[in-house]
DNA sequence: GTGGTCTAGACCACA
DNA sequence: GTGGTCTAGACCACT
């Protein structure tokens, strides 16, 4: 499990951990039933206080995304495909809505937004290609 | 000056004030040279402590968006068009980038994002039409 | 009487007025017995509230640098040469002391300070030459 | 960390704190990565309200001189040598410029300024020697 | 433990 | 009238 923590973003670390794990589960990068890294292991990896990881895991368990098996560890909970794609769509719409609202307020045209979107997609695609060739 | 404060968002009030004023300045809804509502006035309007408003104003002054005239009040600072449109574009790109990154991670196609964007724009446009007919 | 007011310096306007008049008196640019511009006149010239000028004048009167002649106006008070050159030396030493203290704290050598001083003097000298040719 | 606060200087306390910490960082007396005294600790030491210290620290963070580590404390930010010596030179030049401008206005010769500077340096040097023998 | 936010209320400086 | 500073004390979020 790869996590990127930005200590200077103002965003609490436990939230950054939660967000990234949640996204990986929705994206299928963390498969259902898969075991997560232990609190200590993950804490050591990203060099933060174990309490911080524990908090993130607990909150994800409350959300129903993780399942605790006592004495064993934490696992990715089952989530059917419909739920998953609904969650994905909702999360995307929520973020995109903020972008569109901003564009409308700034009187930036739909056309300009469309072109900017294309540019950003192209950037990610070329990024991925580079990663694959490494 | 109209501000919407959400006391339960977790986002600090002074930041909400800053964000909304910053956006209004960039959008031109607050014109250059215009005097802002006084600290006490705005504080009374949104029912918070004057210090909270004062803090928001001070930080915006440090950012260079506001200008103080001692004993008189605070005014929208001069900002040339180029700076303004650059700031607007940057803010939009920053938000849109998150949306695209999310779509890529979730393997949602550029086409789907485009259509969702269209839907969201349509929603705002009809919203504005309704507002105009009031 | 020429005054330069910087509205963005943080320094109160009435203090800027006081400092500049005090310096001009010490430098002899405002001669003993000379009449000062009236409160209204000066206020109009530098575009500030007349109360601000009035405050500056009153404080300078208390300091003994100005003399009020009722119904006539304010005049530069008498100050003997010895007092004047002592005041000048004191003011300069006070400012220079801060510079030296800073250099010592930053471990900038006396030699470097000397050379910087030379450069700054040269800058002012060429400035004055330009002014004289205008 | 030693700070001298003058409660009667007219200069706001939070600014005095900022100026002194800024100078200590530039002078290297506070090393990069070093943890600062906690808000409560420093507040107790100089007997002011914690918010006053907090304000000073926050503004220095905005300036980029300090770095926050959430739940841990504040640390001196990394600043490369070039930036540091540039900042030092700028601060010194700014102060020295005022001294030279004053001398020019008062028609005090460059030679006299030079000698005064020497005297002031000598005073600080002997001061330091005394401190070292204590 | 750390810093951040907010309040209520006081007093000051400025124009 | 304007904003700026400071206090005392509360509560919260983070590690």
Determine the distance between B9 (CA) and F12 (C1') in angstroms: 13
Residue C112 pLDDT > 80: yes
Residues of chain C with CATH 1.10.10.10: 13-76
Helix (H, G, I), strand (E, B) or coil at D106: coil
Residue C104 pLDDT > 90: yes
Q: How confident is the model at residue C36 (pLDDT cuts 50, 70, 90)?
A: very high
Residue C80 pLDDT > 90: no
Which residue in chain B has the smallest CA separation from C52?
Answer: B71
Of C124, C93, C110, C106, residue with least CA distance to D92: C106
Of A37, A45, A3, A40, residue with least CA distance to A20: A3
**CATH number listed for the domain at residues A13-76:** 1.10.10.10
pLDDT at D23: 94
Determine the distance between C129 (CA) and F6 (C1') in angstroms: 49
Neighbouring-strand partners of residue B74:
B68
Sign of CA dihedral B108, B110, B112, B118: positive
Q: How confident is the model at residue C134 (pLDDT cuts 50, 70, 90)?
A: low
Which residue in chain C has the smallest CA separation from D112?
Answer: C89
In this complex, which chains have at least 3 CB pairs below 8 Å with chain B?
A: A, C, D
Q: What is the DSSP letter of A35?
A: B
For chain D, give the mean pLDDT: 91
Nucleotides of E under 7 A from a protein CB: 1-9, 13-15
Average pLDDT over residues B18-24: 95
Chosen for mutation from D96, D97, D121, D122 (greatest number of chain C CBs closer than 10 Å) is D96
Share of chain C above pLDDT 90, in %: 45
Strand F proximal to B58 Cβ, under 7 A: yes
Determine the distance between C62 (CA) and E4 (C1') in angstroms: 46
Q: What is the pLDDT of residues D1-19, one digit of tens each?
A: 789 999 988 899 999 999 9
Minimal Cα–Cα distance from A29 to chain B, Å? 9
Average pLDDT over residues D32-47: 95
Of D93, D104, D118, the CB nearest to C116: D93
Average pLDDT over residues D84-98: 92
Are B17 and B56 in contact by the 8 Å Cβ rule? The answer is yes
Q: Do chains A and B touch (3 or more CB pairs under 8 A)?
A: yes
pLDDT at C4: 86
Give the DSSP letter string of A82-98. HHHHHHHHHHHHHHHHH
Provide the angle, in degrees to the nearest 10, between the axes of the packed helices B110-132 and A81-105.
50
Chain D residue numbers with beta carbons less than 8 Å from the beta carbon of B62 are 59, 62
Q: How confident is the model at residue A80 (pLDDT cuts 50, 70, 90)?
A: confident
Q: How confident is the model at residue A105 (pLDDT cuts 50, 70, 90)?
A: very high
Q: How confident is the model at residue D81 (pLDDT cuts 50, 70, 90)?
A: confident
Share of chain B above pLDDT 70, in %: 99
Average pLDDT over residues A18-25: 91
pLDDT at D78: 83
Q: In the structure encoding, which two tokens stand for residue A28, read together?
A: 């299928």
Question: Both ends of chain D: CA-CA distance in Å?
Answer: 20
Q: How confident is the model at residue C117 (pLDDT cuts 50, 70, 90)?
A: very high
- From the CA atom positions of chain C, what is the Rg in Å? 18
Which residue stretches of chain D are H helix? 13-27, 39-45, 50-63, 81-105, 110-132
- From the CA atom positions of chain D, what is the Rg in Å? 18
What is the pTM for the complete model shown?
Answer: 0.86
Share of chain A above pLDDT 90, in %: 45
Chosen for mutation from C16, C86, C102 (greatest number of chain D CBs closer than 10 Å) is C102
Residue A111 pLDDT > 80: yes
Strand F proximal to A49 Cβ, under 7 A: yes
Q: Which residues contact B54 (CB under 8 A, 6 or more apart)?
A: B39
* Inter-chain touch B92–A116, beta carbons under 8 Å: yes
Q: How confident is the model at residue C99 (pLDDT cuts 50, 70, 90)?
A: very high
Q: How confident is the model at residue C85 (pLDDT cuts 50, 70, 90)?
A: confident
Determine the distance between B49 (CA) and E8 (C1') in angstroms: 8
> Within 8-47 of chain B, which residues have Cβ less than 7 Å from strand F?
10, 36, 38-41
Of B120, C1, C106, residue with least CA distance to D28: C106
């Amino acid at each position: 499990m790869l996590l990127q923590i930005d200590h200077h973003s103002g965003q609490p670390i436990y939230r950054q951990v939660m967000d990234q794990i949640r996204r990986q589960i929705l994206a299928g990068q963390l498969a259902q039933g898969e075991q997560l890294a232990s609190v200590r292991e993950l804490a050591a990896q990203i060099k933060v206080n174990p309490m911080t990881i524990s908090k993130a895991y607990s909150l994800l368990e409350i959300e129903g995304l993780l399942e605790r098996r006592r004495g064993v560890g934490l696992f990715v909970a089952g989530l059917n495909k419909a739920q998953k794609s609904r969650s994905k769509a909702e999360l995307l719409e929520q973020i995109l809505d903020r972008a569109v609202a901003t564009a409308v307020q700034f009187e930036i045209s739909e056309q300009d937004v469309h072109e900017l979107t294309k540019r950003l997609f192209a950037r990610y695609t070329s990024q991925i290609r580079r990663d694959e060739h490494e």
